[in-house]
Structure 1
C-alpha cells in the first residue's frame, strides 16, 4: 500500500507546486528535459485544484513548502544549508522559511510529558504554562521545578509527528528515485543522497535525547567563554519526546530597540557573536548550525544566550587546521599559500596548476578586500572560494557547506546589530590564536604524543600481528625466491623495531 500512498502524496505536492508557481522553479533546478517536464505537468494538471494556494506574498517555492506543512518546511530549511545543491539564490530564499505553527493544547502536552517521564506533571512542576513557542516538530512551555523552584523550558514533540514525518520522508525517497530514473540530468544533484541527508537531520531532531546531548556537549565546550551562556540540560526531566533546559531570560538578539533600552552595547554584541562562532568552529570543531536571532538572547548582564540545538555542525581537527590556514592566508592576502594548502590537503587534484589556482584565488580575495568594512563578508568569500575550487576539480565537502551557510547567518546577525562591524578585524585574532595553538611547534609536540600513545597501545599485539603477516606471506609466496623471503622477514623485523621504539618513545614522553 506504500506505493499508492506515495503517489497520492506526490500528486498533492505537485498540484501545490503548480498552483503556487513553484513547479518551474523545481524543474529548472533539476535541469529536467522536455519529456520529463511534459510528463510531470500532464500528470499534475488534472489535480491542480487539490493544490494548496498558500501565501501569495511569499516567493513561489517558499510559499509551496509552507503550505504543504511541517515536513516540507523542515525539508526547505535543510535545503537552505545546501547551496551546493539548490544554488545560492534559492538557498537564500529558503533561509527565511518559518516553521511557526499553531500549538497543540496544554492537556495533550502534559499527557506526553507524563508518559515520557512516568510521573504526574504536578509532582514535577509547580507551574506549567500554555505554549510560549510552537514550531513544526515541537513546542515549548515555561515551567517551574517543584523541587527547586527553578524556572525551566520544557520542549515537547508534537503528537504523532514521527509517523507523519516518516510518511512524508518515504514519499520523498520515492520521488527521488523517480526523478533519477526519468531525468538523468538530475543525477548530478544526487537527489537520493539529499533525501538521506534530510532523513538523518530529522531523525536527530525527533529524538530529543540527541538534542539534549548536543546542548550538554556545547555547554561543556563553551563553559569558559566570556559573555556566553548555554542553558543547562535537566536530564532527570528529559527523555526521547521531552527535553527540559534552564529558562533563558533575556531580550531577543534581533530586537535592537529592546537592547538599546536595556543599555547593551550593540557593537560589542555584534563583534562577540562573530568571534564566538569562529572559536566554536575552530577551537572546538563543534558549532551551533542555526545561530540566527531567533535562537539567541541577551541576558541582563550582557551575556549572549544560545538555545535550540537541533542543528549542530562538526569539523574534524585536520579540516579545522586546513580551514584556519586558508582563512589566515586570505587575511594576509597570501594567495599562493592558500593555493598550496588546497593542494597539500588534497582538496584540489595534483594535476592542476598551483600558480593558475593562486591567480584564481587572488581574483576572489582582492575585490572583497577593496570593499568598505560594512560590506566585507567572510561568508561571501567562502562562497566564491567554493565556486573557484569546483572549477579546479574540488569535490563538495558537506561539513564546510554548513560552516559557510552558518557563517553567512552569523555575519547577518552581527551586521544587524551594528553595520560597522569589521569582519576581518574580529576574525584575525581568533584565527591567529588557533594557528598558534594548533599548527605551531606546540601542536607538533601534542601530535607526536598522540601518535606514540596509539602505537604503544598496539605494542603487545605487534609480535602476533607480525607473525600472522609472515605466515600469510610465506604461504602465498612459497615458491618465491630467497631474496624475496629476506625482504618479508626484514619488513617484519622492522615492524617489531618500530613498535618497540614507539613504546620507548611514549615512556620517554611520559
Structure 2
C-alpha cells in the first residue's frame, strides 16, 4: 500500500514536470488525440515553458529538458529512446540524443566514504592526492587523483544511494506499465512492461562500474595497434563495483577547435582518424564505443586521439558485420543492386518485396551524396530518408544496427566539426574495403565452411527426430489443423498496419501521458 502511494507521488511529480515543459500532451500532436484529451492538453499547456534562448523548442527538446529535470532514471529513459529512431522517428530521437546528463556534484567527503567502503582502507592510504569533482552526471562523478607511485588517474565514483533511487523510479515505471498493458490493447502491442524491464537491465549494467572497466579493457586491447589512438588503461587494484580508476586521459577536447589549432593539430587528419577509428571498432572488432560525442574524445600531448567514458558500448556479430560492410561498400561503389540484395539475403527486408524496387529507393538516397563534401551533406536528413525507406519496405531494424547508425551520425558530426570539407566516403573506403576483402576472401570462406561442416556433424544424429517432427507438421497443415500463436497473430497484425512515423513519435508522448495519468487515477 505504502509503495503504491509512493509510486503515485513519483508519477504525479513526473506528470507535473512534463506538463510544465509541454512534453506530456504536446501541442504539435494535439490533432491526433480525441477531443477530451485535446482539452486536457490545452489546460496543461497554460504557462508551459515552450521557448529557450529566444526560439520555440521542438517537442523532443522539451521532452529532453523535462527528463533532465526529473533525474537519473528519466535521463536513462531518454537515452534509451534515443537509440530507437526506427520507432519514435529520427527528429525526436536526435533531440533526445542531445540530452545533457549533468547533475550538481556531491561532496569530496561523500566520494571518499564510497571509496573507503569499496576497498576497506582510508582514502589517504590509496591516493597521494584526491581532488574535488571535475565532472558530475546523473549516475556518477569523476575526480582527478594521484597514486602513491606518482601516476595521475581519473576516479569515477557512483552517487551515494543511486541504486535505491533508480530502483524506486523503475518500480514506478513498472507499475504504470503493467496498468497500461491491462487497460489498453494498443499499448500491449508496444510491450511497455518488457520495455521497462530492458531499460532496468541496461541501467543495472551502468550501475556496476566493473562492466565499464571491462569495456575499456577490451577496447584498449582491440585498438592497441591502431596508430594515433589511445584508450586509457584500467587500474584494476583500485576498481570495484562502485569505483572505476583509469589512467588519466588529459588533453585538448576535440570540441576546442581554437585549442587544437594553437597546439598545431592537423584537424583534417584528425577528422579522418575519427571516422576510421570508429569503423575499425565496428567492422574489424565488432565492439564499438557507442557514445562518441565531442565530450568523450580529446587529443593528448603526443597528438593521439584519446577515448573516454565506456558506459555505452555496442556489439556486432560476424554475420552482422559482414552484412553492414557489404551495405556500406555497395554505397561507396554505387552498386545499389548488390546493396539491396544484401538486405534481402540477411532477411532485413521481407521476401515479398521487390529487390529492384528496393535498389531504386536506395539509389534515390545515395546518388545525391556523391561528389559532395561534409558541409554540403546533412547526415541526419540522409538517415531520416533511410528510415523512411525501411518503413516503406516493412523493414524491421535490429537494435544493434540502430545503435550503430546513431553512433555513425554522432561520429560524422564530430568529423564535420573538425573538417567541414571532409569526404566521408573517401575517409571510410580503406577500412571498409579491407574488411570486405577479408570477409569474402578464400581464407574466411574456408573457415566458415569448416565451421558449417562441424555444425552439420553435430546435428547429424538428430536429423531423424527433426524429420519426424517435420512430417507431423506437414500432416497438420494438410488437415487444416494449424493454429497460430498469439505472438504470431500480433506480428502479422503489426506487419499489416503501417503507422506513419509522426504518429510513432506521438505515441511516445501519448504513452508517457497515459502511463502517468492512468496510474494516478488507479492509485488514487
Instruction: Give TM-score, length-normalised by structure 2.
Output: 0.81
Rg larger for: 1
CA contact (8 A) 2:17 2:66 kept: yes
CA contact (8 A) 1:70 1:137 kept: yes
**In the superposition, relative to structure 1, how do residues 189 and 200 fare at CA in structure 2: closer, same or farther (>3 Å)?**
same
Q: Does 1:213 align with 2:214?
A: yes
* Residue in 2 that maps onto 1:331: 332
In the aligned structure 1, how far is the partner of 2:86 from the partner of 2:111?
A: 39
Q: Does 1:310 align with 2:306?
A: no
* Residue in 2 that maps onto 1:123: 125
Residue 4 of structure 1 and its aligned partner are, at CA, apart by 2.1
**In the superposition, relative to structure 1, how do residues 373 and 250 fare at CA in structure 2: closer, same or farther (>3 Å)?**
closer
CA contact (8 A) 1:155 1:243 kept: yes
Per-residue CA distance 1:369-389 (angstroms, 9 max, x = gap): 364443336665444223212
CA contact (8 A) 2:26 2:41 kept: no
* Residue in 2 that maps onto 1:401: 402
In the aligned structure 2, how far is the partner of 1:416 from the partner of 1:286?
A: 25
Q: Does 1:369 align with 2:363?
A: no
RMSD: 3.0
Deviates more, 1:93-102 or 1:368-377: 368-377
CA contact (8 A) 1:30 1:185 kept: no
In the aligned structure 2, how far is the partner of 1:243 from the partner of 1:378?
A: 35
* Residue in 2 that maps onto 1:81: 83
SS in 2 for 1:143: strand
Q: Does 1:344 align with 2:313?
A: no
**In the superposition, relative to structure 1, how do residues 189 and 428 fare at CA in structure 2: closer, same or farther (>3 Å)?**
farther
Per-residue CA distance 1:146-186 (angstroms, 9 max, x = gap): 1x211111110000001101111122223333444455445
* Residue in 2 that maps onto 1:103: 105
Instruction: Give TM-score, length-normalised by structure 1.
Output: 0.83
Q: Does 1:387 align with 2:382?
A: no
Residue 395 of structure 1 and its aligned partner are, at CA, apart by 1.4
Number of aligned residue pairs: give it.
464
In the aligned structure 2, how far is the partner of 1:142 from the partner of 1:325?
A: 44
Residue 367 of structure 1 and its aligned partner are, at CA, apart by 2.3
In the aligned structure 2, how far is the partner of 1:296 from the partner of 1:30?
A: 43
Structure 2, unpaired ranges of 5+: 473-524
Q: Does 1:260 align with 2:255?
A: no
CA contact (8 A) 1:250 1:298 kept: yes
* Residue in 1 that maps onto 2:446: 445
Residue 437 of structure 1 and its aligned partner are, at CA, apart by 0.8
CA contact (8 A) 2:297 2:305 kept: yes
Per-residue CA distance 1:103-137 (angstroms, 9 max, x = gap): 11111111110111122211111111111111110
**In the superposition, relative to structure 1, how do residues 30 and 410 fare at CA in structure 2: closer, same or farther (>3 Å)?**
farther
In the aligned structure 2, how far is the partner of 1:38 from the partner of 1:180?
A: 25
* Residue in 2 that maps onto 1:293: 294
Per-residue CA distance 1:35-63 (angstroms, 9 max, x = gap): 56667889x89xx99x9x79955642122
Residue 314 of structure 1 and its aligned partner are, at CA, apart by 0.7
In the aligned structure 2, how far is the partner of 1:328 from the partner of 1:377?
A: 20
In the aligned structure 2, how far is the partner of 1:250 from the partner of 1:151?
A: 13
